[in-house]
């Protein structure tokens, strides 16, 4: 099952969306999926419908052997090895194919977590960073699910602060083994895994990754955790008591484990965001079906305005994160185009591409998980008491999705990372963010009010609003750096607010460019739902940008400076709001007519 690499017009610098304008042709959208992509989606969807859906109750109840059996069946279709080179038993697909599979698997949270660990963080560290001998020994068996993999980073006292781990590795007197001692926590697949990628500190100082087999003496998974959600997945501690790990099982370099840990998390964030898109689409199916069937006061509840408002908002937010997902992944594929994934230098190139778009991956992770949280909550509300009952799958889905904001770096950590990574890229000369912000601050005093004539092109006002939102980010970023300098990281509320603005800009522009790209290729009547969802999202997003920026600026400045900045803020976001109630009604009506998410 091969696929042609996804293409965008040119290779684009990560984070540059803040200071550069993109054309619709430069972004990959769901409407650009090839026939091969569609075949992969169909294969994954049919697997879920045939193998997962009938067994959801058994998965939830942890039927012995169930997960391993399902992993083996998934592996027969290549679903455990989309990112693995062919020479090691993988499919060597593009990353668009990877996120398609992640999206399809989201039908059940427990299964999605199990497969995600197997196909991602449980095997890719070895596939990307292992020696040739390590790859030959482990990767084919992980790709075929003969062996199950797990990733062991967190500890009881070092969840988000992963580098503060206490698990130690000491070289044996004969120099043939590292002796590992410690306990890892919250290990997905922990109770069923054969191979663990374990992070420990050599001599208590050098953060390093090791390949640890379950069969090694002293390795013992703890009891299964009793969890709020994803109850069917295996989550256990991993106890390591004097475990002798052969020196040839050191993964990567001594003291360079952080490179493996954090680069693999970029891939995890990309896939968890894509999975959230799939989760939103499934929940929309349930919400729409219920709204069309349930009656109250002599009407189907789908006829009520407040229900339509919920459905329209659910669809428009899903449209935005879906646009982010495919745009980000398309850019990654553009950097990887033409690379032989089986070549020795390929892992370095893949990691470089993921690192280039680490900001965008974090944005997708945060926004995807928070939109899914919103959609799941509204779905429960639409079903009412039935949504609260465990007799209906919506209740389980509501519980399952909650962990997503903790997985792959908490959303708070990712918010700190977004701003931090952007600032570091600017300081290194990779992104001219700070100079652009400084230039804007210098120009503010010379600005004069004016009413530009609207351009006669589709979504011209919305495009102008997106550009204004970018200037707002530069205004807040420049003011924050000017005020706090190196102490900015201590102002976490400001950093978080700035990251929120960055995320809103990326989502606004991604939805806008996607819609414009479809408009250029389709008849106007075929794009009415796209237009309604895009406009509704952009204007709601502009409201959030204005409130968030005002809050941050009030912390940063005061007096005449603050008054000037607030005046500039209003100018950047000057808008005549459309009737978003009507826009969301149109989106809801289209979704109700189709009985599903109304795009692609």
Dihedral, CA of residue 534, residue 537, residue 539 and residue 543, to nearest 10? -160
- Residues 6 or more apart in contact with residue 351 via CB below 8 angstroms: 128, 259, 263
**In angstroms, what CA-CA distances link 189 with 71, 165, 309, 321, 458?**
11, 20, 40, 28, 49
Phi, psi of 578 (to 5 degrees): -80, 175
The answer to whether the CB of 59 falls within 8 A of the CB of 66 is: yes
Q: Which of 261, 450, 233, 274 is nearest to 371 (CA)?
A: 274
List the catalytic residue out of 408, 462, 504, 509. 408
CA distance 458 to 75: 46
CA distance 59 to 114: 11
β-pairing verdict for 195-202 and 168-171: parallel
Task: Name the burial class of residue 6, with classes exposed (0-12), middle (13-18) and buried (19+) by CB atoms within 10 angstroms of its CB.
Answer: buried
Q: Which of 571, 559, 576, 545 is nearest to 444 (CA)?
A: 571
Phi, psi of 169 (to 5 degrees): -130, 125
What six digits make up the tokens of 253? 């370099």
β-pairing verdict for 295-296 and 250-251: unpaired
Tell me if residue 309 is catalytic: no
Tokens 């993988």 belong to residue = 90
- Residues 6 or more apart in contact with residue 185 via CB below 8 angstroms: 154, 155, 156, 159, 237
**In angstroms, what CA-CA distances link 585 with 289, 315, 502, 580, 589?**
17, 11, 28, 8, 6
Q: Give the DSSP H/E element, type plus range, for residue 243.
A: strand 235-246
Side-chain-side CA neighbours of residue 318 (13 Å): 33
**3-class SS letters over 102-133:** HHHHCCCHHHHHHHHHHHHHCCHHHHHHCCHH
**Strands annotated E in 143-194:** 149-152, 168-171, 177-188
The answer to whether the CB of 466 falls within 8 A of the CB of 508 is: yes
Q: Which of 302, 314, 208 is nearest to 536 (CA)?
A: 314
Which residues are known to be catalytic?
A: 408
């Amino acid at each position: 099952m091969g696929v042609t690499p996804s293409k965008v017009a040119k290779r684009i610098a990560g984070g540059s969306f803040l200071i550069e304008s993109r054309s619709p042709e430069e972004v990959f959208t769901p409407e650009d999926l090839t026939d091969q992509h569609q075949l992969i989606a169909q294969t994954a969807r049919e697997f879920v419908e045939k193998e997962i859906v009938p067994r959801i109750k058994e998965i939830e109840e942890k039927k012995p052997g169930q997960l391993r059996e399902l992993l083996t069946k998934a592996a027969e279709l290549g679903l455990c090895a989309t990112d693995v080179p062919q020479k090691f038993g993988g499919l060597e697909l593009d990353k668009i194919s990877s996120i398609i599979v992640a999206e399809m698997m989201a039908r059940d949270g427990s299964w999605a977590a199990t497969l995600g660990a197997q196909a991602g963080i449980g095997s890719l560290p070895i596939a990307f960073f292992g020696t040739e001998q390590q790859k030959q020994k482990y990767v084919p068996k992980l790709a075929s699910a003969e062996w199950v993999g797990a990733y062991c980073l967190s500890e009881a006292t070092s969840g988000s602060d992963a580098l503060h781990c206490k698990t130690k590795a000491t070289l044996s007197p004969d120099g043939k083994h590292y002796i590992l001692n410690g306990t890892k926590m919250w290990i997905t697949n922990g109770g069923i895994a054969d191979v663990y990628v374990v992070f420990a500190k050599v001599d208590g100082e050098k953060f390093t990754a090791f390949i640890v087999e379950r069969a090694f003496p002293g390795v013992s998974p703890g009891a299964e955790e009793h969890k709020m959600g994803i109850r069917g997945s295996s989550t256990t501690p991993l106890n390591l008591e004097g475990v002798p790990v052969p020196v040839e099982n050191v993964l990567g370099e001594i003291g360079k484990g952080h490179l493996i840990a954090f680069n693999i998390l970029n891939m995890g964030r990309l896939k968890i965001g894509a999975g959230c898109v799939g989760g939103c689409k499934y929940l929309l199916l349930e919400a729409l079906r219920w709204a069309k069937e349930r009656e109250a006061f002599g009407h189907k509840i789908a006829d009520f305005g407040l229900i339509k408002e919920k459905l329209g908002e659910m669809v428009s937010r899903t449209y935005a994160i879906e646009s982010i997902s495919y745009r980000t992944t398309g850019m990654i594929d553009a950097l990887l185009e033409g690379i032989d994934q089986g070549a020795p230098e390929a892992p370095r190139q893949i990691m470089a591409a993921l690192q280039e778009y680490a900001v965008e991956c974090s944005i997708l992770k945060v926004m995807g998980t928070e939109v899914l949280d919103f959609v799941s909550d509204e779905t429960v509300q639409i079903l009412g008491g039935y949504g609260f009952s465990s007799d209906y799958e919506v209740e389980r889905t509501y519980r399952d999705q909650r962990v997503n904001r903790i997985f792959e770096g908490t959303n708070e950590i990712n918010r700190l990372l977004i701003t931090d990574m952007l600032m570091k890229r600017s300081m290194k000369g990779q992104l001219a963010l700070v100079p652009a912000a400084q230039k804007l601050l210098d120009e503010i005093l010379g600005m004069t009010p004016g009413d530009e004539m609207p351009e006669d092109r589709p979504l011209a006002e919305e495009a102008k609003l997106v550009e204004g939102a970018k200037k707002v980010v530069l205004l807040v970023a420049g003011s924050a750096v000017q005020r706090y300098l190196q102490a900015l990281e201590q102002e976490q509320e400001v950093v978080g607010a700035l990251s929120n603005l960055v995320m809103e800009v990326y989502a606004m522009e991604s939805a806008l460019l996607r819609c414009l790209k479809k408009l250029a290729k389709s008849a106007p009547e075929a794009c009415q739902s796209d237009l309604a969802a895009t406009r509704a999202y952009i204007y709601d997003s502009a409201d959030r940008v204005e409130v968030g920026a005002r809050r941050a600026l009030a912390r940063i400045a005061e007096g005449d400076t603050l008054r000037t900045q607030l005046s500039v803020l209003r100018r950047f976001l000057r808008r005549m709001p459309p009737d978003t109630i009507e826009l969301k009604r149109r989106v809801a009506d289209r979704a109700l007519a189709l009985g599903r998410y109304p795009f692609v």
